[in-house]
Amino acid sequence: QVQLVESGGDLVQAGGSLRLACAASGIIIRIHTMTWYRQAPGKQREPVAGISSGGNTNYPDSVKGRFTISRDNAKNTVYLQMNSLKPDDTAVYYCGAHRNGVDYWGQGTQVTVSS
């Protein structure tokens, strides 16, 4: 059974930092494309970071330079380092694993940024 368990969400002031973690079981993350998405109230889910099996990363302009995705293959865990947080970053953050048209998702972790 595949499980992705996110952690690290919290309430933080604008300008602060958080590191989210996504611990995977039932899959080997190094052969998957791993992603972080977020969904704010009343908005569609949007991607915020991705890392391919080859280690290439990508970010939308809204978070580029502030967010960094990484993975620890030994721990089978993906991280999202978020710096210079803004109130607009407030959302539920989801971890995803993708390979050969099959997608897995975690339950999400809440990030709230106060102004």
71-93 per-position pLDDT tens digit:
999 999 999 999 999 999 999 99
CB 41 within 8 A of CB 88: no
What average pLDDT does range 84-109 have in this prediction? 98
pLDDT of residue 110: 98
Q: Which residues contact 104 (CB under 8 A, 6 or more apart)?
A: 2, 4, 27, 96, 97, 98
Contact 73, 20 (CB under 8 A): no
Residue with tokens 């970071």: 49
